[in-house]
C-alpha cells in the first residue's frame, strides 16, 4: 500500500510540475509564440526602401538572422519582437501586416518596410529590349531569380513585390534603375519601357 501511495504522490507531483511549466509566462517556445498570428512567418523579408540587399530571415522555429546577426523572435497582438544583438534586435518591434508578408519598423518616425517577395510570375522570365535607349538595349530575366546581360555577364538578383520587380546588382543595369512596373508584354521604369521579345 505504501508503494502505491508513493507512486500516486510522484505522479501527482509530475503532473503539477508539467502544469506549472506550461502555465508560466514565457515558458512556451519561440515557435509557439510566433504562431499566434495564425500565419507562417518563416521566409526572407527584404527592405523595400533601403539600398541594402540583406534580408531578415525568419525560420519556423522562432530564430531570425540578418547579415551576421541573429536571435529569436515572437509575435503578440500583431507585433513582432526581436531578441538578440544587431539588426532587428536593435531596431525595436515591427508591426506585422494582416497577411504576414510585411514587417514595418519605426525609424525616427519614418516607416521602414521589409516584405516577403511574391512568387515569380510565369510570364516574367525572358529577354527584354528597349527601342531607342542610348545605353543598355537588352536585359535577360531568368526564372531562377537572377538577371544578366545578353553577352552572358551576370547582372544580379531580382524579386517581385505586387506588380513591381526590384532588381539588385550592377548599377549600370536594372540594379541601379529602381523598381520596374510589370506591364502586359513589358517592364516600365518611369517613361522607359523594355518590351519582352
Q: What is the pLDDT of residues 146-183, one digit of tens each?
A: 999 988 888 999 999 989 999 998 888 898 888 999 99
DSSP 17-85: HHHHHHHSTT-S-HHHHHTTTSS---EEEEESS-S--PPEEE-TTSEEEETTEEEEEEEETTEEEEEEE
| First-to-final CA distance of the chain | 88
- Whether 126-196 and 30-115 are alike in CATH topology: the answer is yes
Name which of 141, 188, 167 is nearest 51 in CA terms: 167
Helix (H, G, I), strand (E, B) or coil at 91: helix
Helix (H, G, I), strand (E, B) or coil at 110: strand
In the chain, DSSP finds a helix count (H) and a strand count (E) of 3, 16
Highest mean pLDDT among 51-60, 74-83, 131-140: 74-83
The domain ranges of the chain are: 30-115, 126-196
* 27 has pLDDT over 50: no
For residue 180, the number of C-alpha atoms closer than 13 Å in the C-beta half-sphere is: 27
Q: How far apart are CA 155 and CA 165, in angstroms?
A: 14
Quick one: pLDDT at residue 88? 95
Query: Binning pLDDT at 50, 70 and 90, where does residue 39 land?
Result: low
Residue 41 contacts residue 61 (beta carbons within 8 Å): no
Supply the pTM of this predicted model. Answer: 0.70
* Mean model confidence pLDDT for the chain: 81
Read off φ and ψ for residue 43, nearest 5 degrees.
140, -175
Top CATH class of 30-115 equals: mainly beta
* Residue range 126-196, CATH number: 2.40.128
Reading the block at residue 117, the C-alpha cell is 517577395
Amino acid at each position: 500500500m505504501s508503494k502505491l501511495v508513493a507512486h500516486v504522490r510522484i505522479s501527482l507531483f509530475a503532473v503539477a510540475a508539467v502544469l506549472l511549466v506550461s502555465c508560466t509566462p514565457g515558458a512556451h517556445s519561440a515557435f509557439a509564440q510566433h504562431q499566434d498570428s495564425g500565419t507562417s512567418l518563416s521566409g526572407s523579408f527584404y527592405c523595400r526602401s533601403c539600398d541594402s540587399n540583406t534580408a531578415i530571415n525568419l525560420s519556423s522555429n522562432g530564430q531570425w538572422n540578418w547579415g551576421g546577426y541573429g536571435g529569436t523572435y515572437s509575435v503578440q497582438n500583431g507585433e513582432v519582437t526581436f531578441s538578440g544583438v544587431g539588426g532587428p534586435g536593435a531596431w525595436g518591434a515591427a508591426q506585422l501586416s494582416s497577411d504576414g508578408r510585411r514587417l514595418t519598423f519605426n525609424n525616427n518616425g519614418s516607416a521602414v518596410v521589409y516584405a516577403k517577395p511574391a512568387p515569380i510570375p510565369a510570364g516574367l522570365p525572358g529577354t527584354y529590349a528597349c527601342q531607342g535607349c542610348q545605353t543598355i538595349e537588352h536585359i535577360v530575366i531568368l526564372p531562377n531569380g537572377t538577371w544578366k546581360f545578353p553577352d552572358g555577364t551576370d547582372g544580379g538578383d531580382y524579386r517581385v513585390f505586387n506588380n513591381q520587380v526590384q532588381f539588385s546588382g550592377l548599377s549600370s543595369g536594372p540594379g541601379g534603375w529602381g523598381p520596374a512596373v510589370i506591364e502586359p508584354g513589358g517592364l516600365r521604369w518611369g517613361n522607359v519601357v523594355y518590351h519582352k521579345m
